């Protein structure tokens, strides 16, 4: 049976992948993706996917994974993590700065989720909501740095950049950088040019 520490690490990786997909979908939603020739060439089954619904569901799935990830560390008798370390991350017994990055990212993501609820979003107005929602770019970056640097065994080992887990983090980082660059290009392109 896998240890809770291992399960926690897997949940963290799943959260990061889910968040990466969520941000990419959010970027697509912020553009007129349905009018792009690439979208129109996709099979009809793909074009029928309700991207906003999928975007929302991946956010909720990521939220559950993000909450479970540190709670399993607390539940694992082999770690010295407690709830205090989650809420006061600089007191964490291992890699406190990078634990803090994970905690800050989780808090920022929770704020994005809360402000996306219809009643709150309506009360905030679109412009303020959009500015708060842009936190998700920073949030995903914090999660990736947290995943890249944290030792999954909590033994303060140096980062092995070619480890499978770290390569997955690096792939997520690359996808986010490319998606963000594409979004910036899309916003600056002359109107009507795809």
Instruction: Return the pLDDT at 12.
Output: 96
Instruction: Return the pLDDT at 77.
Output: 85
pTM of the model: 0.90
Instruction: Return the pLDDT at 11.
Output: 96
Q: Rounding to the nearest 10 degrees, give the CA dihedral for residues 69, 71, 72, 78.
A: 130
Instruction: Return the pLDDT at 147.
Output: 94
Instruction: Return the pLDDT at 71.
Output: 94
Instruction: Return the pLDDT at 162.
Output: 94
How do the domains of the chain map onto residue ranges?
4-188
pLDDT tens, per residue, the chain with 194 residues = 468 999 999 999 999 999 999 999 999 998 878 888 888 888 999 889 899 999 999 999 999 999 999 999 999 988 889 999 989 999 999 899 999 999 999 999 999 999 999 999 999 999 999 889 988 888 999 999 999 999 988 888 999 999 999 999 999 999 999 999 988 887 787 655 55
Give the C-alpha separation, 170 to 101, whole Å: 17
Instruction: Return the pLDDT at 20.
Output: 96
Give the C-alpha separation, 11 to 64, whole Å: 9
């Amino acid at each position: 049976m896998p240890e809770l520490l291992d399960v926690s690490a897997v949940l963290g990786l799943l959260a990061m992948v889910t968040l990466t997909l969520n941000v990419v979908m959010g970027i697509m939603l912020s553009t007129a993706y349905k009018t792009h020739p690439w979208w129109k060439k996709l099979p009809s089954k793909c074009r029928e996917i309700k991207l906003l619904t999928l975007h929302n569901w991946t956010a909720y799935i990521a939220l559950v994974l993000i909450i479970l990830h540190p709670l399993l560390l607390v539940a694992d008798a082999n770690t010295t993590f407690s709830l205090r370390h989650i809420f006061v991350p600089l007191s964490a017994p291992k890699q406190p700065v990078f634990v803090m990055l994970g905690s800050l990212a989780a808090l920022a993501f929770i704020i994005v989720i809360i402000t996306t609820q219809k009643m709150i979003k309506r009360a905030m107005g679109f412009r303020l909501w959009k500015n708060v929602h842009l936190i998700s770019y920073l949030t995903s970056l914090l999660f990736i740095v947290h995943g890249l640097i944290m030792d999954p065994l909590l033994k303060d080992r140096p980062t092995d950049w070619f480890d499978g887990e770290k390569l997955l983090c690096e792939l997520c980082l690359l996808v986010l950088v490319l998606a963000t660059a594409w979004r910036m290009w899309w916003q600056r392109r002359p109107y009507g040019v795809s």
